[in-house]
Chain A
Amino acid sequence: MEVNDALVQNLANLARLQFNDQEKEIIKNDLQRMIQFVDKLNELNTEGVEPLLHMTDAINVLREDEVKGSISREEALKNAPDSDGTFFKVPKVIKKQD
């Protein structure tokens, strides 16, 4: 798999990250090495081997349906970048239609 500028740009868009040209070069290089590593792993024959999705054998770690553990609005809004005391405020998502 070729790591080119377009791929880096697409990944940056998906991750909402911005890089300057110099950073892009470094990232391109890093990505290339990661992919080489995975390509190497791909050489192994894994036929009949279930993918390892979880790192423990634990299953059914479940909760009862009980209401508990909520925090107050004041506490919750403490870490909000912007708020009016009731809502979290974020930049306009939908542009006003004229």
Chain B
Amino acid sequence: MSINYDEYEIVVGLEVHAQLLTNSKLFCGDSAAFGGDPNTHISPITLAHPGTLPKLNKKAITYAVKIGLACNCSITRHNYFARKNYFYPDLPKGYQLSQHTTPVCQGGFVTIRTQEGTRDIRLNRIHMEEDAGKSLHDVDPNNTCVDYNRAGVPLVEIVTEPDIHSGDEAYAYLTELRKLLRYLEICDGNMEEGSMRCDANISVRKKGDTKLGTKVEVKNLNSIRNVKRAIEFESKRLIDILESGEKVIQQTRSFDAGNGTTFALRTKEDANDYRYFADPDLTPFVVTDELLHEVRASIPALPEERVVRYTQELQLPDYDARVITDEKELAVYFEQIIEHTKNYKAAANWMLGPVKSWLNETGGSITAFPVPPATIAALIALIDSNQVNFSVASTKLFAALLKEPGKQPLQLAKELNLLQDSDEGNVAAWIEEVLNKMPDKVAEYKKGKKGLIGLFVGEVKKVSKGKADPKLTNDILLKKLQ
């Protein structure tokens, strides 16, 4: 009997841990940078020596409030950190400091776009906590080796409601969330390096059921694509279990990216007993009106806001607007071009065409793109005034500009002899040459095969090495062929 997977609804909640791009750790002055030599970003506070006192990093609060406002959360004014007590070697204090009881951001949502349309994924909370150190199990055969550089690095944990119903939705949510984190410049969103991590709580239930099914938690998802793959694999596995008449056991599983499957890490016999209580070493903190206003004012135009502006004010197609707003730096570059030109669509075409190709080929970022935005605007002006045609501009002239980005396009076009020729005599001469070469085609045209005009235009373009003004070429051709 075949299983009808469509009878089931997949229910997923995601927990994202995002490392905040502060200089120092959450509760002390050790560097929070990634990739230092093992155990060099540590202090007595990180190592939990007796008598040390933690002190909260102001910047971390600012960053957490920032992402909360961007996700439409309500901001908790009175906050404190709780101790989450458990023993593990990568946690020197024997407890993790976490805003368990008073998450600084509550509720909110992230709008996603899938083939099914637009939907808001509701958030449960965003709270701050400290990261743990790193345990290495393969350095020494007899011991676990611990590096405490990461211990105490500030994180925000962003928790959704069980509001995601497919791998595609999870993919869209994470892409959107990462875009927001990067726009706000509070996390670099690098899942491979672990600065953004995701755990997925997955369950399935018959469509129409209101009670949630037993969930499994899947860990070790090191890319957005793998989150989608894991959800697709795991939900199918859960449905297979239910269809075979068995029960799902609540457990933690790990994703194997190599073969796209999951395997059990541990089964939760009883709920962990973390014995949370308010940390007595830290004072409570209050998000003041002043801080709230300050943070609100520091939030740049977010992708959605820019898309609305580009499509409505600038009349760009939705697709163009989305590609350009994919990264803030791209959007900023585009906006710098249109400070110098009113031809917004042409500016978008340059972004989506030659500029994007350069980014793809070099693997570089727009910040490393050598040609200044004003120069792209100057290129657009050259084309609009019929001095250069687009294909010459986007290939030869663009390539030349990449080598000499300081030069003006007009100057460079002159040097390279790329300026279009609008001299009637010159164009007429090229046309004469072409028509003389193909008298049979001319005869066919005159008999009524008017489609051949394209061939003639193309030939003129060829013999003039792209320099013949296309409009003038067309006009003169039509006259001569009468």
Which positions in A face B, CB cutoff 8 Å? Answer: 14, 16, 53-56, 58-73, 76-77, 79, 82, 84, 86-94, 96
Contacts and interface: CB of A to CB of B under 8 A. Distances in A.
A92 B236 CA distance: 35
Contacts of A77: 39
A46 B283 CA distance: 23
Chain A CB count within 10 A is highest, among B56, B88, B144, B280, for B144
Contacts of B141: 96
Chain B CB count within 10 A is highest, among A14, A65, A90, for A65
Contacts of A87: 38-39, 136, 139-140, 145-147
A62 B57 contact: yes
B39 A73 contact: yes
Interface of B: 22-24, 28-31, 37-45, 47, 49, 55-61, 80, 85, 87-89, 135-137, 139-148, 273, 275, 278, 280, 282-286, 288
30 contacts: A14-B275, A54-B284, A59-B283, A59-B284, A59-B285, A59-B286, A60-B286, A61-B282, A62-B57, A63-B29, A67-B29, A70-B31, A70-B42, A71-B42, A71-B44, A76-B39, A76-B42, A77-B39, A79-B49, A86-B38, A87-B38, A87-B146, A88-B145, A89-B146, A90-B143, A90-B146, A92-B142, A93-B89, A93-B137, A94-B137
Contacts of A70: 29-31, 40-43
Given A59-B286, A69-B30, A91 B41 contact: no
B219 to A, nearest CB: 14
A56 B283 CA distance: 8
A71 B46 CA distance: 10
A54 B147 CA distance: 32
Q: Is the interface of A mostly helix, strand, loop or mixed?
A: loop
A53 to B, nearest CB: 4
Contacts of A89: 140, 143-146
Given A16-B87, A70-B41, A63 B280 contact: no
A88 to B, nearest CB: 4
Contacts of A84: 140, 145
A70 to B, nearest CB: 5
Contacts of B142: 92
Nearest to A55: B280
5 pairs of A and B residues whose beta carbons are closest in the complex = A87-B145, A65-B59, A53-B278, A69-B29, A68-B29
